[in-house]
A and B are shown apart, each in its own frame.
Chain A
Amino acid sequence: MSADRDYKGTSVVVTGAHGFMGSWLVERLLDLGARVIIPRRTVAAGSRFVREGLEQGCEMVDIDLLDPRSALRILNEGGVRVVFHLAAQTIVATASASPMATFDANVRGTYNLLEAARLLSDHAPRLVVASSYHVYGPGINGVCFEDTPLRATSPYAASKACADFVTRSYAGTYGVPAAVTRLANVYGGGDLNWSRIVPDTVRALTRGDRPVIASDGTPERDYLYVEDAVDAYLAIADSLSDPANYGRAWNAGCDLPVSVLQLVRALIAAAGLDLEPEVRGTPVPGRVDRQYLDSSAIRDELGWHARWALDDGLAATYEWYGQALREAALR
């Protein structure tokens, strides 16, 4: 990738850097010599971003992205060339319990940034906006292509679909150099959203507990190791050197659906334990729940591919949590 050359001395904004995915992206950008600017409104104690000292390498700006003037100021005064917009309320259950706060964070936070970019016109930075596989909705069995209809039904999925639509609209109407990512389930060290299957299972295993599976274990999804996700973000940012790619949506996953039970068993193997998960859900006869992404566009057109096999990614993930939990940095 040309990214090594492109980022030296380049001003980059990463929103959501305190989150899981953001911390890995920032780490890579710092390695590539970028000047990384981070808007923040809260500091998450125990986050990988703080814990691994990434904050010291970045310029922190205490603003709230829900303030449109602040969004314009940070892009303009920072001479920003690339924005990775990852800040979002990312938990499905939280969105259902409090839709408006989620719409504010995920929709308004996104159009504030895009509007700032539009106002900067020829000086607009490239924007890579985190959408989600959730935008395709729950009704699909099988593979989702980028042109599969968006049939989001839950507030979380709806918020991501809106962000996705709004971003592509700025690209298609005003020529803002923006694209959206629709990544598979990203896992890796530093994900402190314990409601997710990988962190939840790892935490149980580090305590020697049997992992609990809320479903019957059969739902199949595809998973993506966080370093591969970072590669995808950089590849998509690179793709915006070509205006033909403005307004694109890019799937990225392993093209390999894995059942929850398989995933949990792989983590048990990574932990070197001899346990059986506790499967709580009852099977629904005749129900097939399999959803995964077709990633051929990003592979064929941008040369990206997932380098990490599931077992390797889960082993690396397990190791990160093991160390972090031993250091008692996490509760």
Chain B
Amino acid sequence: MGEGFGNTTALVTGAQGFIGCWLAERLLGEGARVVVPRRSVEPRSRFMVEGIAERCVLVDADVLDQRAMERTLADHGVNLVFHLAAQPIVGIANRSPYSTWESNVRATYSLLEACRTVGGSGEPPRVVVASSDHAYGDHEELPHREDFALKALYPYDVSKACADIVARSYADAAGLPVAVTRMANTFGGGDLNWSRIVPDTARALIAGRPPVIRSDGTPERDYLYVEDAVDAYLAVARSLDDPAGHGAAWNVGMGTPVSVLGLVRILIAISGHDVEPDIRGPAVPPAEIDRLYPDSAAIRERLGWAPAWNLERGLEATYRWYERYLSGGAAAFVADVA
């Protein structure tokens, strides 16, 4: 595959979602053909409003449908798969675990099975699966290294741990060139999941309201700007040229964990408003992990990846994106699910 992606036909699941649309955009920029399965159309997504969709091959198919995925992979000669489609919200997982297992676990093994089957005795596509730093669950020791036990307990975290284990088992037994990413909290323009801290805070500030913090502000997370996340996806995809990388898991994060309160204060400073956050919650909201902080030494040292964006610059770019987006009144059309 080499450096570029000019000879690549990439399937990107979840391209209508936040990270997926940036990844699809980058792949198009690198000269790849991008194939996107979708089961619903979200007219206000960044994927649609910024003209990414019209440059992709759109296939009306559900990732849960193994036969449809097999056909899509074969028909378009897909040689690289990024599996980002998932139910990504912790609160939704707690309220609806079943649909979360279906979207995050069953869709993962269905798609991997399609890749294995379409590969047959020939060359199967390379596959990068989005796991999450949530798969680690609660650990006393931080930061999490890739060889830490997966100790997920709550449904969203467990769904990611299962997807992670399932994906790597396809490398073990089926010889599929697959790796998983375990990324820190990724932020950037285009994230319309308003229950997340960055979109929620940006929206409040743009509307001139004090941002609300659901916890007591102390939970610490590591963060990652979306363009750096895209770089990591491409680096992991390239690493699959070497069979030694098959079945690997890669942590990705800035390596500068910050408390929720610290993050919100940076956004307040960017906004130029003189407001104090409205801190409402207990130390840790129910069914959430207190501190998540992946150690990204492996991807830095072995794949040469490094974040190009620090927290302040990333948040600045993100805030400006939301200002532009919300000035168009687009948010009124977006489901607000916490």
Contact = CB atoms under 8 A, between A and B. Distances in A.
Contact of B149 (A68, A151, A159, A168): A151
Interface residues of B, number: 33
B166 A162 contact: yes
B109 A103 contact: yes
Contact of B158 (A155, A159, A166): A166
Contact of A165 (B94, B148, B158): B158
Interface in B146-173: 148-155, 158, 161-162, 165-166, 168-170, 172-173
Interface string A54-82: 00000000000000100000000000000
Contact of B97 (A103, A108, A115, A151): A115
Nearest to A95: B173
A39 B112 CA distance: 29
A73 B97 CA distance: 19
A142 to B, nearest CB: 16
A311 B66 CA distance: 48
B30 to A, nearest CB: 31
Nearest to A111: B101
Contacts, number: 98
Contact of A96 (B98, B106, B174): B174
Contacts of A316: none
A152 B98 CA distance: 23
Contacts of A155: 166, 169-170, 172-174
A165 B149 CA distance: 12
B259 interface: no
A224 interface: no
Contacts of A42: none
A89 to B, nearest CB: 13
Contacts of B161: 165
B48 interface: no
B170 A99 contact: yes
Contacts of B317: none
For B94, B116, B174, which residue has the most chain A Cβ atoms within 10 angstroms?
Answer: B174
A107 B172 contact: no
Interface in A110-160: 111, 115, 118, 149-155, 157-159
Interface string B83-115: 000000000001001100100011001101100
B330 interface: no
17 contacts: A99-B112, A99-B170, A99-B174, A100-B113, A107-B166, A155-B166, A155-B170, A158-B166, A158-B168, A162-B162, A162-B165, A165-B150, A165-B161, A166-B158, A169-B97, A169-B154, A170-B97
Q: What 7 pairs between A and B have smallest CB-CB spacing?
A: A149-B149, A96-B173, A158-B169, A100-B113, A162-B162, A169-B158, A103-B109
Interface of B: 66, 94, 97-98, 101, 105-106, 109-110, 112-113, 116, 148-155, 158, 161-162, 165-166, 168-170, 172-174, 247, 287
Given A99-B112, A154-B172, 5 more contacts: A111-B101, A152-B169, A166-B101, A169-B97, A174-B97
